[in-house]
Structure 1
Amino acid sequence: MTASTTDIPMQPDPENPMTTASVSDVKIDREALDRSISEFAGPNADYYARSFHKIHDSTGIIPRVFNWAAAVFGPFWAAARGIWGVFWAFIILEIIAFVQIGRGSWGQLGADQMARAQAQEARAQEFLNRATEATAAGEDGSRFETLGNNLMRAAERSRETAEAAAADATMILISGIVMLVFLRVVQGLWANVVYEKQYSRWRVDPASVPSGMKLQNILLGAALGLVIIPLTVYRFTVEGVSEWITDFPANPDHYSDTARWLEAVIDNAATSGSGMFDGIVLMVRQVLDAISVALIGTPWPVVMAVIVVIAWRSAGPRVAIFTAAALAYIAFLGYWEIAMETVALVGAAVVLCIVMGIPLGIWFGKSRRAYSFAEPVLDLMQTLPAFVYLIPIIAFFGTGNPPGILATIIFGMPPVIRLTALGMRGVPENIKEAATAFGATRWQLLKDVELPLALPSIMAGVNQTILMCLSMVVIISLIGGGGLGQVILEALQFAAKGPGLLGGFAILFVAMVIDRIVQGAFRRADQK
């Protein structure tokens, strides 16, 4: 096969009419392309080379290529070729078709209604016999006769329903066959198109895109099909399915034994580490007490004025006006003291999250190995339901505000760690190399180059941590935490709609004030 050449005439330059564009030759080496397709496809390489050429030359929506192997073997062809997305999509659709075929062939449609009709007829016959015996004995048997006639009519309706369901078996069978044939035709039409797209991805990245027909893919696809299709069809087409298919054979003793083992482990850890846990609670309580004295012990006009001035200086006059209105709402409804307690709880949690989270984020941003070990822990901290945190927190630290802050730290620390690490990894390497070339030490590189460039991501992490800590206010009230969360908890206990909504709006305003101040401070720092 020789290389073909396509001549594409160039248009004259509109800006310089006197210049005549030369003719440019675009050469396509068919032999090299066919060798590449052969290396990718493996078996039947000539067929796929011809098909790919037709796809490239086609201008229609559906290229005129049909893959009989994909039409005959269906999703198993996709598995053999490593196209696992097509395999899973069509095996699920074909299972539906096989279930319809099974229901129409041996599904015994209406068997449950027929069994009910037979049971109703037997029960009706018993009532009619009792009516006959009562009449023979000179008693009134009309009650039994009425019950028997009613049950007989119900049995007739059940029998009609069963017969109607059985009559639909043929249509269900035909619909399943039509659906299966349609799916196989669709796979035959689009198999080469999908495979050509995989070939295009393979040319860009041969290491990560599957190619050829591999034995392990064939065996895996066959094993999956033999497990998934028969069991699913059996489950939905056969009456009286075995319990080992519908119910997992779990032993209840495993649950109880594991639960008792976990309780023993937690109790032993709480007893042996009581000194350490008490020390942690004492440290958290000191931070909380310091913030509480500053917010609650100080006269409220001073605290309100300071917060409004901070909002003005950090985010501008609009945020200051909003802050003043939000604080006025809180104070007017008598929520001032408990709102400041909420701010103290959140502030203590945020301070501890930032103090511990940013250094960890810097470390994880610089060390891929450390981040790979920490990532599952961060995933666990973010995905575990918040209520689950309270169980070990109560066991190790008791109840009250300090344990609530510790639960809030677990819930709120992952964002600042992740976004700090993301910001550190996003610093361009050429900038760090330039700073190092000019004699910057590792500390100077971190302080003057990496942290300033990573600051937007770090501040976004701080913002997310603040909001997530505020979202824990209501939850920590379940273990004795104070603040506005206690108001919401009491409203839930007594279904008090008014107090609950007013307390919820107070939490909302506290969150919005903190968020606006932090965001405004970041924007102003970024503008400077």
Structure 2
Amino acid sequence: MSGAETRDIDERDVSVDTFVERNVGYFAPIFERIQRGKLPLWHLNIWAVLVPWGWAAARGAWLLFWVSLAIDLVALVCLMQVVKFTPLLAQAQADASANTTLIARYSGWITTYGWIGSLLFVGGRLWMGSTANRWYFNQYSRWRIDQSVPHGVDVKRAVLGVLVIALIAPLTIYRATQLRLDERACFNQIRAAEGVDVLLPRYGAESVPALLTAMDAKVDQANAGLAKLEALDALTDDQKSERSALRKTVRDLGRSRGLVTNYQNISARDRFDCFTIDDFPTLARLDPPEDVTYRRVPDPDAAGATKVLREVKDPVEGRKVTIFTYSAESIDISINYLRAQYATAFDAMTNVLRQSLIRVEVAFMQTPWPVVAFLFIALSWAFAGNGTTVFVASSLAFLALFELWQIAMQTMALVVVSTAVCVLIGLPIGIWMAKNKLFRWITEPVLDVMQTIPSLSYLVPAVAFFGISQPPAVLATVIFAMPPMIKLTALGILQVPETTKEAALAFGASNRQLLRKVELPMAIPSIMAGLNQTIMLALSMATISAFIGAEGLGAIVTSALGDAQAGKGLLAGIAIALVAMMIDRILKGIRNAFSRI
């Protein structure tokens, strides 16, 4: 280091000492070299290479924390696939009758996942080590403007980072080592537990071993009586009936004992897997509501009048239902009663609505578990305030309580993939549209037509070209949801003041620097608004795309529509609305945060 550089470091801004607090002797010259553009790309922060997420959490560099944690998790998940498939490959190779295609598939997976995991782990650590100091310098630059930006080394932040990792990493890595659970394994556990709960009071037992002992005693007693009867040369009709009853008792006891034995054999690992890595665990199973049928018949006591008959069917013995099914069936019963009781009024209202709908159509037809919940709550708390955090937590609790969690995640996956494609394609098109007047003149009417065409119309060409499955659903969602991303990106860039752009050009900025360092940062609020609208449209289209095979909450809605199950459709609709409002509130908070920068 030259004498001039040493003199500059000695005369540096003392705010570096205040911001860094620890290891000032290391960071001060690093910041000086970054500011002068002399820090080489291969310079590594050793702590960021060894424990990037720990270093980032302690220093308050939360974006680097999440990026490093995501890279490490993806790498470890890939490596765990090697651990999972290696014994399966050995087992298949040892079996002479094994399918050679299966062996080749396992071998390919092991090789692919092994390379991807290794490259991600090593390359990710080197990348994080080389960029950590630059990220920290950017944080220092923001801190000089806004003193609320985290600075120094805080033990509380480090502990918080450890807690986040402890909540996310172990379950995620463990899940990557496990094969897919049997679809009915967890349900069979629940049914076995319910059966044991019914049998315990029936036999006066307080534990499963005591129940088995009591049932064995009953079996021995029935077998003894059966042996006496079969030893007789001739049986009377009463004795034959008694023999048949004893045989039936032995069969029933055998089935019940098998149920209890299966319950006893459920391992702690199986229970843990069903509770954590399967769908959200079942919180309660209830006796279903009465199976009621309402129908209208002529009333003999009043000429021309009708009355409602209530027919109640006997309940199915041992049937238990989830909270979602119980609520859905209760809603069905209530709606059936109202439709039967007030049929005339409903018919009149239906006719009015039908006629109104026809007129509106004429007027407007041509005028066109434990890891995900935490992320939603953390985002809402960080960007949207306490009120939104409570709302997001309540909405997630609704999805969990009604056992719609996994299905809602399927919808979220479709929305995330579609939104990512919209951003990757829509952002460059929006930039080009803002920079090129001719392209903007051509694109604007096309986007207007795309936003005017009814959403269901996008399903027709998707099915015609790609059939019925998930990919055409994603394609239809992308086409329908992309216009706001393009238009608002272009609008945000066009709204950048000309004086600001002229000042940047006067200081020697190139067109690429003008776009990257001036126009795009100032257009972020508008771009975030476009992203918000894109996600909302993608969510609505993902629901409608269930008609062509998309899974998720929309599938429940379409299924309920086909089977006239109003309860399920209503509950799934509420879930879709809550998901949409959660995303909207969180993105609005993020947009406001960017607007303040």
Query: In which range does the TM-score fall when normalised by the shorter chain?
Result: 0.3 to 0.5
TM-score where L is the length of structure 1: 0.43
Structure whose alpha-carbon radius of gyration is higher: 1
